[in-house]
Structure 1
Amino acid sequence: MTRRFALLDIATAIVVAVLTAGAVWIAFKGPTGPLPMHFDLSGHPDRWGDRRELALMLGFLAVVLGVTAGGLGYYARAAPNPTRRRGLQLAQLLTLLVIGAVAPFATSQILSAADGPATGIITSLSWPMALIGFVSLATGALLGRVPPNVAVGVRTPWSLKSRLAWDRSNRLAGRLMFWLGLASLIAAPVAPQPLGLWIAVGGLLLAALAAVVESWRVWRTDPDRQPF
């Protein structure tokens, strides 16, 4: 387990360094024209910024990754038993996969659409849908095995007061996200857009709502729950 933990730490440091270097490069060498900083569900930009804003966004994601994944690695090293250590390492891996996939993809979409307000559009929403599918698939595969922690999981007031509610709500969220992610990946190349992207996002929101309700339901019937 020590080697696996070390590899995760090294991978986290590498991704943080790459994101930081990208932020610095964009701040000084990026496009000087307007950059689309937010897109609607049809792929059209609805807010514009400049390279400094994009650099700040990428740098912020690097900081979030370093603090979150690094903190999970720290707690994993200090964990009193192997089971909790493995769970925290899974949470670290999950954080690394999600931010490591989302940050470069979002940056590439912004830079590729940097042709001015008239033409800055994501030409195909299949790629965002596929990214959502990948992130959901990876999250779902790991989420059910993550123990209570400060950063990752279905963190509701009820799941934090009941270990049973934590386990069941995270397992439910993991299963739903896995199958939704798999369906999104398979459907992305052929789904009509923007309908496919809407369905993928809506499915994730419904999965999150179901997990929240499950955490409350299990907490209410758990004899070992902690009171508020």
Structure 2
Amino acid sequence: MTLSATDRATVAVSLIIVATGAAIAFAGPLELMPCHFGADGQADAWAGREAIGAGIAGLGLLTGLLAGGMGLAAARAPDAARTRSLRAAQILILLTFLALTLFAGVTSVSGVTSLGAALPMAGLSAIFLAVGAVLGRVGPNPIAGVRTPWSYKSRLAWDRSNRLAGRLLFLIGLAGLALSPIAPQPLGYQLIIAAVLVAAVLSVFESWRVWRTDPDRQPF
């Protein structure tokens, strides 16, 4: 079977993430590095390079598994529209895991102890902007998107809730990038996280609202 461009990207991104983890594990800083940040944006847990590298390499394997499975589903889709929507989900997985790897790798290796600063805020905002740009094109699947009981019972609810989530994340990311050089910290970081949580709640509510009024919905 001939691999599509998205499938080849899946292989490449998965290998890049695994290689990044291996590089950190074998050649990263010898001192402990931050590996977790609290709600205030401050580092509250540290680990050695082996643990952090292994975690990132594991992300690479998970990327290959999830995005590869989505690519297989897309190749077996019964029509072109379904194929496109599953390819969008595959791209979303790749973007998310690659962005998380870059963000985690840079923050860990650089020894950043607070996400409440201009560069970390800009990095998070870029992730949300990229995810938002793709999310609205994702079709129903068990891995990526606004997956609620109502969106699975109504294609209209799935489409509208994912489009809403995509637009909100895109706008949050765009605003975060624009404001990151001037926003007071850690308030800027905290506002970005709060906005994403509000977007998630609104998207879940939208899936229920649209399902409730959709004449073609499936009952529970």
Q: TM-score if structure 2 supplies the norm length?
A: 0.92
Q: Determine the C-alpha separation between the residues in 2 that align with 1:131 and 1:30.
A: 21
Q: Distance in 2 between matches of 1:27 and 1:133?
A: 27
Show the counterpart of 2:48. 50
Within-5 A mapping of 1:52-71: 52-71=50-69
Bigger mean CA deviation after superposition, 193-202 or 37-46: 37-46
1:156 and 2:148 are equivalent in the alignment: yes
- Pick aligned residue for 2:200 from 184, 199, 208: 208
Match among 114, 117, 129 for residue 125 of structure 1: 117
Counterpart check, 1:172 vs 2:170 = no
Partners in 1 of 2:182 and 2:89 — Cα distance?
A: 32
Contact 1:109 1:122 in 2 (8 A): no
Give matches, 1:52-131, under 5 Å: 52-113=50-111, 121-122=113-114, 125-131=117-123
Gap regions ≥5 residues in structure 2: none
Q: What's the counterpart of residue 129 of structure 2?
A: 137
1:188-227 to 2 correspondences below 5 Å? 188-227=180-219
Task: Indicate if the aligned counterparts of 1:37 and 1:48 stay in contact, CA closer than 8 A.
Answer: yes
- Superposed CA deviations along residues 27-60 of structure 1, whole A, max 9, x for unmatched, are 2333332221112355432111112210221012
SS at match of 2:8: helix
Letter in 2 for 1:145: R
Following the alignment from structure 2 to structure 1, what is the Cα–Cα distance between the partners of residues 179 and 71? 35
Q: Is the contact between residue 88 and residue 139 of structure 2 (CA under 8 Å) also seen in structure 1?
A: no
Name the residue aligned to 1:13. 11
| 2:91 maps to amino acid | L
Q: 2: distance between equivalents of 1:144 and 1:35?
A: 36
Q: Deviations over 1:136-155 (max 9, x none)?
A: 22222221221101211100
Give the secondary structure class of the aligned counterpart of 2:4: helix
Paired residues of 1:41 and 1:197 also in contact (CA < 8 A): no
Percentage identity across paired residues of the two chains = 48
Return 5+ residue gaps in structure 1 as ranges. 114-119
The question of whether the paired residues in 1 share the 8 Å contact of 2:42 and 2:115 is answered with: no
Relative to structure 1, the CA distance from residue 223 to residue 173 in structure 2 (aligned partners, 3 Å threshold; closer, same or farther) is same
